[in-house]
Amino acid sequence: HQRHAGWDQEAGDGAEGDGGEPASLSAERTVMSQQQLERLIAALDELSPKCREVFVLLKLQHCSYAEVEQKLGISQTMIFKYLTQAMRHCRRTVGELD
């Protein structure tokens, strides 16, 4: 935050987007985020249905391994293998996922 505050003062009274950054940077980040999201969706579409479902349940819906095991009727070992496969594919296709 302090870095941005110092940068904003140096930048003067130029147009700013949300978060105190110049509007052009804000727009660029929005476009980049949208493009990354589109690549992630495309990468998930390339996975098998079961692999995709495991990824969505664990990473997007924040289910536990036990919940996924119960919902899908597969072992936690298979859940781990599917998640590993999905993460590896998405990292290759999209880049690093947090």
Structure confidence at residue 96 as a pLDDT band (50, 70, 90): low
- CA angle, residues 49, 74, 67, in degrees to nearest 5: 95
* Token representation of residue 40: 């992630």
**pLDDT tier at 30, thresholds 50, 70, 90:** confident
| Res. 21 pLDDT band, cuts 50 70 90 | low
Looking up residue 56, the CATH number of its domain turns out to be 1.10.10.10
pLDDT of amino acid 97: 56
Give the Å distances, CA to CA, from 68 to 9, 44, 52, 89, 97. Answer: 49, 18, 12, 20, 21
Give the number of domains in the chain: 1
State the pLDDT confidence band at 79, using cuts at 50, 70 and 90.
very high
Residue 82 lies in a domain: yes
- What's the domain range around 53? 23-93
Is residue 31, in this structure, part of any structural domain at all?
yes
Q: Which residue has the higher pLDDT, 1 or 66?
A: 66
